[in-house]
């Protein structure tokens, strides 16, 4: 049986979420209908909205359900464009759901650099906002809460204060943070905050955007007046119910963070003790407790993923595109990685269902696979 260590890609669905989905799907009713069945479906959606809002310290009425984190991020960026924003500042480590959407707006995109530890350079941001040209309209800044590859947690609250002082708009992709760390939407002063269900053990295909009360929003989809006219289309009642159940279960189990941190730290300890040339990305920064990102120079990421799959472990390259092909990590390049380091990145992301034995087994299997590969790499070099 394969040991699943790719929770940052998709977490296994939690039993509570699966049960909530099945119960919701067993019912009939459109949340927009006024009869009893419709009102019951509406009640499920509204209860879910309240649960998710409470978990992230937002107002229920400010939660807009979407098809996932990608749509939520797109809704934020295109709303900003329609609100008259003329230039975007996007951090160098953003997920493609943000970076590609920013470029798709057609607006000029400036890159907020990060340090060698993968933390956003707030000194750069502060100076840039001080020099902001009024002709460029309202400042707009995108900074993720935690990086999906390295796990490095970003200073979104401090960044939010800088953006607020500049009277700008602030967007946070909090997809990886939800359920893994305590998260306070209000504390970030963000106008837009994106979430996704399947990263926290909910179903795929559902997410949410939390809006500040003064956040301009213009819908991407046109049709009915669902979600107060902010996101048209019949709500995914089953997905939304599962989303809320997963969030509720995650925040009811604070011990999960300590558990996955122990697994991550143990795997990291074994690898570092036996392979001094391996680099652990973001190890000096605050990271998500479950995430380990490493580079083994000379050993291609794709080959590592295949080797680990054959050994019975599901892990991920530093960055993978939607086609499943592996490419060099631009996140690590932004942190100063050499081309060789960026091309040899591996991400391991643990979950609450993993065990210490599995973490140790992975580390030893990875070391063994690397030992077998090194003579071939040396010959090829």
The model's pLDDT over 239-278, given as tens digits with 9 standing for 90+, comes to 999 999 999 999 999 999 999 999 999 999 999 999 999 9
pLDDT for res 221: 84
Check pLDDT > 60 for residue 55. yes
State how far the Cα of 241 lies from the Cα of 228, in Å rounded to an integer. 19
pLDDT for res 374: 75
Percent of the chain exceeding pLDDT 90 equals 86
Quick one: which of 174, 176, 139, 150 has its CA closest to 93? 150
Cα dist. 200→3, 263, 369 in Å? 18, 18, 31
Quick one: which of 172, 178, 167 has its CA closest to 206? 178
pLDDT for res 377: 58
State how far the Cα of 72 lies from the Cα of 252, in Å rounded to an integer. 25
The DSSP code sequence of 238-263 is: HHHHHHHHHHHHHHT-THHHHHHHHH
The model's pLDDT over 119-139, given as tens digits with 9 standing for 90+, comes to 999 999 999 999 998 888 999
Structure tokens, 116: 């060698």
For the chain, give every domain's residue range: 15-251, 255-378
pLDDT for res 220: 84
Q: Are the CB atoms for 174 and 308 separated by under 8 Å?
A: no
Look over the chain and give the mean of its residue pLDDT values, rounded to a whole number. 94
pLDDT for res 225: 83
Check pLDDT > 90 for residue 324. no
pLDDT for res 373: 86
pLDDT for res 95: 96
Q: How many helices (H) and strands (E) does the chain have?
A: 13, 13
Region 99-124: mean pLDDT is 97
Q: What is the Cα 234 distance to its own chain's centre? A: 25
Helix axes of 356-380 and 301-310: crossing angle, nearest 10 degrees: 130
Q: Answer left, alpha or beta for residue 75, where phi above 0 means left and psi between -120 and 50 means alpha.
A: alpha
Region 333-349: mean pLDDT is 95
Check pLDDT > 90 for residue 79. yes
pTM of the predicted protein model: 0.94
pLDDT for res 325: 54
Concerning whether 321 is annotated as a catalytic residue, the answer is: yes
pLDDT for res 348: 98
Check pLDDT > 80 for residue 381. no
Check pLDDT > 90 for residue 234. no
State how far the Cα of 80 lies from the Cα of 253, in Å rounded to an integer. 36
Check pLDDT > 50 for residue 29. yes
Which helix (H) or strand (E) segment holds residue 22: the answer is helix 15-25
pLDDT for res 378: 53
If one looks up domain 15-251 in CATH, what number appears? 3.40.640.10
pLDDT for res 322: 44
Check pLDDT > 70 for residue 208. yes
Q: Whats the size of the chain, residue-wise? A: 381
Assign 319 a pLDDT band (cuts: 50, 70, 90): low
Domain over 255-378 is classified CATH 3.90.1150.10: yes
């Amino acid at each position: 049986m394969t040991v699943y260590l790719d929770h940052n890609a998709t977490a296994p669905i939690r039993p509570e979420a699966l049960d909530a989905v099945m119960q919701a799907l067993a019912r009939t009713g459109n949340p927009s209908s006024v009869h009893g069945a419709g009102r019951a479906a509406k009640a499920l959606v509204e209860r879910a909205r309240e649960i998710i809002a409470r978990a992230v310290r937002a107002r229920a009425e400010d939660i807009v359900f979407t098809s996932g984190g990608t749509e939520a991020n797109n809704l934020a960026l295109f709303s900003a464009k329609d609100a008259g924003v003329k230039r975007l500042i996007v951090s160098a480590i953003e997920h493609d759901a943000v970076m590609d959407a920013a470029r798709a707006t057609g607006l000029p995109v400036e890159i907020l650099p990060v340090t060698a530890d993968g933390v956003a350079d707030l000194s750069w941001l502060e100076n840039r906002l001080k020099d902001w040209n009024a002709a460029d309209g309202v400042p707009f800044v995108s900074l993720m809460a935690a990086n999906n590859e390295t796990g490095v947690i970003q200073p979104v609250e401090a960044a939010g204060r800088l953006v607020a002082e500049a009277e700008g708009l602030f967007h946070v992709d909090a997809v990886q943070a939800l359920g893994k760390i305590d998260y306070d939407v209000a504390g970030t002063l963000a106008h837009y905050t994106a979430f996704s269900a399947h990263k926290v053990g909910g179903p795929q295909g559902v997410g949410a955007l939390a809006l500040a009360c003064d956040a301009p929003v213009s819908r991407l989809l046109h049709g009915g007046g669902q979600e107060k006219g902010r996101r048209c289309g019949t709500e995914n009642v089953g997905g939304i119910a599962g989303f809320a159940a997963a969030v509720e279960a995650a925040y009811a189990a604070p011990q999960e963070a300590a558990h996955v941190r122990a697994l991550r730290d143990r795997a990291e300890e074994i690898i570092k003790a036996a392979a001094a040339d391996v680099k652990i990305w973001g190890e000096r920064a605050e990271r998500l407790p479950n995430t380990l990102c490493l580079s083994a120079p000379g050993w291609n990421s794709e080959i590592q993923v295949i080797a680990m799959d054959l050994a019975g472990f599901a892990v991920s390259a530093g960055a993978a595109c939607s086609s499943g092909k592996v490419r060099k990590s631009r996140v690590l390049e932004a942190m100063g990685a050499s081309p060789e380091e960026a091309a040899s990145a591996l991400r391991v992301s643990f979950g609450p269902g993993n065990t210490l034995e599995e973490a140790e087994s992975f580390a030893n299997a990875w070391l063994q696979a690397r030992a077998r590969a090194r003579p071939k790499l040396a010959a090829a070099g």
